[in-house]
Amino acid sequence: MSTDIRNLEPKALWKHFHSLTQIPRPSGKKEAIGNFLLDFGKSLGLESLRDETGNVLIRKPATPGMEQRKAVILQAHMDMVPQKNSHIEHDFEKDPIQAYVDGEWVTARDTTLGADNGIGVAAAMAILESKEIAHPDLEMFITVDEETGMDGAFGLQAGFLKGDILMNLDSEDEGELYIGCAGGLDANIEFRYTEEEKIPEGDIVLKVSLKGLKGGHSGIDIILQRANANKLLFRFLKQAVIAYEARLAKVEGGNLRNAIPREASAILSIPKEIYEEFVEFTEEMEDLFIEEYSSVEDKLSLSVEPCSWEGGLIPEEIQDDLINSVIACPDGVYRMIPDVPGVVETSNNLAVVQSGEKNIVIRCLLRSSVDSRKEELASAIESLFTMAGARVGFTGGYPGWEPKLDSPILRCMKEVYQRKFGIEPKVMIIHAGLECGILGTHYPHMDMISFGPTIRHPHSPDEKVNIATVAKFWDYLLESLKEIPLKD
């Protein structure tokens, strides 16, 4: 099989996905991709708009015979999560994604692929461009900065959209229809200090690096119980402080609130005469971590090496409070949904720990499908870090999407799937945050559903999309557009 994704079927979809890989579109950089989408719509002679937030909307009239069916919004987001392996050079603001075919999957070379949510955008573009696909009145609505706070959904103004049914093309398991999702909340934690101590005379400065974890999407993959690089590093640091008189100078772990941290590092000092013993301790901790996570991690590494450091140390009291609170902070699955087997209700991702010259910043992303449980977890995190002397604030809260089992589009798409593929689709609630919950606050009477092809390891350099399910997703989408319910 050729490694060129443009040779895959359906070619109409893969052509547009390839185009998207050539346009840098990390969250926060919306101008180039927004212009690209706007120009695309105008080149087709379609009404093409961009709102104040940067969201792009393109309208296409119904094909002959479809005018009496409800209008449909094909909704996706234009940004992608910028994650790469540390050994490669890649500038997500300038360099294209190197996508290629790898057996049954499309993936990228050492970076995130952007199938989340580029496949959804490409599908909508292919439908707008086609002169043969039957559909009712259509709106392609592509939001900005979904991955960093759902800014596009929050910035949407009432009345901008005209459709009756919203198809969110941002789910990642073919054969599943999503009718509800978790809400989220960002925790912003800061330790401040006014002075730094100097490296003790006779100490050696070392860099400890934890690498090779799988990471992943902090909503979808949280149930997999993968290792969190921040949590493991701080377990190591506590033992280093207790047993080896280690002093912390700098710490850096994770970089995105919605990605499980894959790498973390620290600069510390220890008495020079115990260096060899400390190396042995590091190797023992590496072996322990590998054993503990052998079923979910296969490339975990923990290493230590001498390094240079021109700065000082984090004050000992702050160091100890930081280490103890990070170790105590809830991370991963907090609670499952009791009456929905296998679905996470509430979780926390201890996403970022970053020290600066005068402060240490910690960022967490809390998720829950139950608002009161989200508030309970937020209160626990606030109490913990406040007792440790940190400042704690919460931002970016967004609502969950409440399921509606009597949804007309759900009933329609269940029937289409059963007829087309001979089995019933699974009706699901997802622990990730979909924009439907926010969009529903602007348009409370809109009928919404979410579906997509099978994507694995989103938000990590292992991201890949299954080729066969993209074709199946495409066929299902086209068939569903033909069967959209009639207007009331």
Residues identified as active-site: 79, 146
d(CA 24, CA 98): 11
Q: Are 377 and 354 in contact (CB under 8 A)?
A: no
Q: Are 114 and 456 in contact (CB under 8 A)?
A: no
Main-chain phi, psi angles of 283, to 5 degrees: -65, -40
d(CA 285, CA 287): 5
Find the length of the chain: 488
Residue in 383, 449, 451, 400 with CA at minimum distance from that of residue 421: 451
Dmax (CA) of the chain: 84
Q: Are 333 and 315 in contact (CB under 8 A)?
A: no
Task: Cite the beta strand spans of 369-471 per DSSP E.
Answer: 391-398, 426-430, 447-450, 455-456, 464-466
Residue 464: both structure tokens together = 């890949």
Residue 155: both structure tokens together = 């910035």
d(CA 448, CA 178): 9
Residue in 112, 98, 151, 76 with CA at minimum distance from that of residue 455: 112
d(CA 250, CA 245): 16
Q: Are 237 and 250 in contact (CB under 8 A)?
A: no
d(CA 79, CA 28): 8
Q: Which residues pair with 392 in a beta bridge?
A: 189
d(CA 173, CA 454): 4
Type of residue found at 171 = S
Residue in 396, 395, 364 with CA at minimum distance from that of residue 380: 364
